Amino acid sequence: MRIGPLVFSCLLFCGLAAAQTAQTKNISDAHCTITVPADWVSATPGGGSAHAPDRSMMVMMRGLRREEIPSVVADLKKTKGNVVDDTSSHVLVQAPLSGAKKQWVQITKTSPFSCRASVSYSTAGKADAARKIAESVRPRQ
């Protein structure tokens, strides 16, 4: 039985998971928290927004009442937003912005406050990273 490769794989995975954790930080406002890369800069006092050092991506987050969600989603659809995922816990929308910019918008369906995170990006190569950041939004505990 060869346990060496299994142990090595486990150590590698655990090391990568620890490195991943160390490479992120949480940004919070009064109602919500989102996880962004560690080198991102908070753009507003109180933590409602942050951006990548090169400004290629930006996140804006805010709390909203749960009953506001349908109108927010309807407004995103008016701008040709595409609802990618709509579950009992969240709505995820990809929507265009001005020019070549796009955004991922995740809205949590939580009470008493829901959270909305909009992560904008300008190059297709940033789409997956922007989505992952948007999906990390959650109510502040």
pLDDT in tens, 27-66: 998 899 999 999 999 887 777 899 999 999 999 999 999 9
Q: Residue 7 falls within a domain, yes or no?
A: no
- In 3-state terms, what secondary structure has residue 132? helix
Domain-located, residue 1: no
The domain in which residue 66 lies consists of: 25-139
Residues 6+ positions from 1 with CB-CB distance below 8 Å: none
**Residue 8 covered by a domain:** no
In a domain, 77, yes or no: yes
Domain presence at residue 49: yes
**Strand ranges of the sheet holding 32-37, from the earlier edge strand across to the other edge:** 24-28, 32-37, 138-139
Q: How many CB atoms lie within 10 A of CB 36?
A: 22
Residue 6, in any domain of the structure: no
We report the CATH number of the domain holding residue 98 as 3.40.1000.10
CA torsion sign, 138 to 21 to 57 to 127?
negative
Q: How far apart are CA 66 and CA 27, in angstroms?
A: 21
Is 17 a member of any domain? no
- Model-level pTM greater than 0.85? no
Number of structural domains the chain divides into? 1
64-90, pLDDT tens digit by residue?
999 999 999 999 999 999 999 999 999
